[in-house]
Structure 1
């Protein structure tokens, strides 16, 4: 389940701004491909922070108490992405984006806890791992010492 929809973005921006920020062809209608790109980019950006601590995407169907929080933050990011296509970015949009990113960074660092009634699944990976492969050693350390 996605954190936001195209309809959510249109409601946040208002119909006139929704069209103005996405209509590159001048047709007078929103370009839904542009909207989808902004939506998916915003979800990806939010997940990039959440993935530090949780398995993403978070299923807001299982964690309904998170739905409005993640929707608001993701809409802040999506609005900023769309406004950045038509500078200047309004100060309130820039401030909302900065606040969203700050909050996400705090979640990623573990300084802010998500409001979940049940335990969220942890991230699958905890860091980089290495694997050594190849043939076994031809000469031992003792054999090499004499060379």
Structure 2
């Protein structure tokens, strides 16, 4: 969940893209599978079961369009599926986190939704908080 939007959560939608949602559409339960220090494979899980799916987050480029996160078959060795999740402050006493893939950070764009962008000299403007739903399936 993006820190500045307390009502919306993240979901992989049926069309495969990662987006913010206010309802129950898409896959909203994610499991962070450690791949190294602060590096994770982000898998989807099915609520109410003990099953992880074979769907993971992956960074995709589309020509001149911004980088996006989309659903892809899990491939732990694929660099585009290796996300860094690093604590980056706190808000209202709860930790906040930055999510990145190499040097591109998951940011909210007012016109394009969730994108990944290299920060350069610009500040990180989008941070996330996580809801712990208990032990991970499988």
Larger Rg: 1
**Class of the TM-score when normalised by the shorter of the 2 chains:** under 0.3
- How high is the TM-score relative to the length of structure 2? 0.21
- How high is the TM-score relative to the length of structure 1? 0.20
